[in-house]
Amino acid sequence: MTKLFEPFSLRGTTLKNRIMISPMCTYRAGQDGMANDWHFAHYGRMAMGGAGLVMTESISVTPEGRHCLGDIGIWNDAQIAPLKRITDFIRAQDSVPAIQLQHAGRKASSTRPWEGGARALNEEDLRLRGEQGWTTVAPSPLPYTPSAPAPRELTLAEIRQLVDQYAAAAERALRAGFEVIEVHAAHGYLINEFLSPIANHRTDAYGGDLNNRMRFLFEILDRVRSIWPQDKPVLVRVSAVDGMEGGWSLDDTVALAHELKRRGVDAIDCSSGGMGGSAVNARVPRGPGFQVPFAERVRREAEIPTIAVGLILKPAQAAEVVDGGHADVVAIGREALRDPNWPNGARTQLHPEGGYAHWQDPVGWWLDRRAQSLAALD
């Protein structure tokens, strides 16, 4: 049997297989940032589909850190209970609930992608949907596209406050029942903006050389790791490369991974891009598994577990990533949107002799009998 369906442990948390549902924004929360029945059904069906780990979409640590007004938040205690309902259900399906924490930085105050292509909110959005934009913040007052408004540069006091807000969000995530926490440092959002020389032109302790540009992330992680129980894992998602001249490089990512490992991070989730616009705007040539080499190099050179993501489409492809030692876990994103049962279906496809025994009984029982009926027709 492929290692894809073997258990995998990080600290005291064990996944039943090496398949993770990747964080994917859905923009279905209200303006209060509360998770709701839509999210319960969405994440519940992902857990029922057989993934070892189900990670939320990026959840904002401050109201101003929302990419869109539909983002889920975890900036106040009232937001804990609806998230706890979701984690309880995920756990009941023998899956591990994980949360991704984020602040969108200069990419905040945007429309949903289908309402204007993730552009900045404007007067038309206020008229049509009652959605009021706000002033964004960033390491430096540099817009992420020529047509975007310039953000306001964060003060040192505001940076310290943001570190506190990440820590408070981690404490709420623990109360909400999450087993794994991931700090989102990718896709051109705030932490990634500090890391990349494209977006960070500061001349103080948070800008300039590589160590200074990594400082904000390190301060957040030190606080999160001090709050998060020692038997529970902390992950970091990175854009392994900006894919732009003068930007963050894979060499930078390897150097960062060495330091993250030393600071108690348990795995690196390797994505790419997002510095010059949307994360889905290709700055890296795209093809099946196009980001797997990033995960492989980080795993090999930093000697830390990695998660591979990016057009991992077929079960055999996912199995080869794990069996070939390219990464420890594969993250399935839009394929899981298309088919929430992708993990269970992958196991049935790769190991048909097991039939549907690994599916949940109310589903597997019927599918097994259907398979017998279909076989009898041949």
CB 113 within 8 A of CB 71: no
How far apart, in whole angstroms, are the C-alpha atoms of residue 107 and residue 253? 22
How far apart, in whole angstroms, are the C-alpha atoms of residue 310 and residue 239? 12
Token representation of residue 167: 């820590």
Number of H helices, E strands in the chain: 12, 12
How far apart, in whole angstroms, are the C-alpha atoms of residue 102 and residue 65? 7
What Rg do the C-alpha atoms of the chain give, in angstroms? 20
CB 52 within 8 A of CB 17: yes
Single out the residue of 80, 33, 81, 22 nearest to residue 56, CA to CA. 22
Check the CA dihedral 49-99-104-297 and report its sign.
Answer: negative
Residue 250 DSSP SS3: helix
What are the two backbone dihedrals, phi and then psi, of residue 236, each rounded to the nearest 5 degrees?
A: -135, 130
Helix or strand (DSSP H, E) at 329: strand 329-332
Token representation of residue 347: 């196991």
Determine the distance from the C-alpha atom of residue 85 to the mean position of all C-alpha atoms in its chain, rounded to a whole number. 20
Beta bridge partners of 238: 185, 270
Whats the size of the chain, residue-wise? 378
Check the CA dihedral 68-74-75-76 and report its sign.
Answer: positive
How far apart, in whole angstroms, are the C-alpha atoms of residue 113 and residue 111? 6
Q: Return the active site residues.
A: 189
